Amino acid sequence: MIDECTLQHLGGCLGAVAFDDQPRVTPGRVRPFIWAYLLLRGAVRRHEVVGALSGHVRDEDIRVEDDPLDRSTLEVTVDDCLANLVLANVLRFNGDLYVLKPEALARTVSLVTQLDAQLPDHLLHDLAGR
């Protein structure tokens, strides 16, 4: 982790440009948090992703403003990312739980390979049964 001393050592402006401790919420910043839960457990709940990110984003991204469903920008972005993964046939929705589908195995294996990570247990079990 980059601390204040390291930023000062890097030299004022360079350090400020290289490190943003409260970045704007974007789908590209939300998806890695979703995948972290999916690779760990094979499933994720919306509130887990929102909770994991809420301490690291800008205040305006966690404020509820103009959404008819009283959601913050962070919540809207998490909902959109999860919905897109359902539409892409990567996840299935079960109550409040988004579960990684076996049909998403190729995509998941690709990600696991890139990260030098491990497949979720339920997918490993499916592979062993084939």
Give average pLDDT by consecutive 10-residue segment, the chain, 130 residues. Answer: 58 57 90 94 96 92 87 95 97 95 88 87 77
Q: What is the pLDDT of residues 90-118, one digit of tens each?
A: 999 999 999 999 888 888 888 888 888 88
pTM listed for this prediction: 0.78
What is the per-residue burial (b if ≥16 Cβ within 10 Å, else e) of 67-100? eeeebbbbbebbbebbeebeeeebbbeeeeebbb
Q: What is the pLDDT of residue 3?
A: 60
Per-domain residue ranges of the chain: 23-129
Q: What is the pLDDT of residue 27?
A: 96
Q: What is the pLDDT of residue 41?
A: 92
Q: What is the pLDDT of residue 75?
A: 95
Q: What is the pLDDT of residue 124?
A: 79
Report the CATH fold assignment for 23-129. Answer: Arc Repressor Mutant, subunit A (1.10.10)
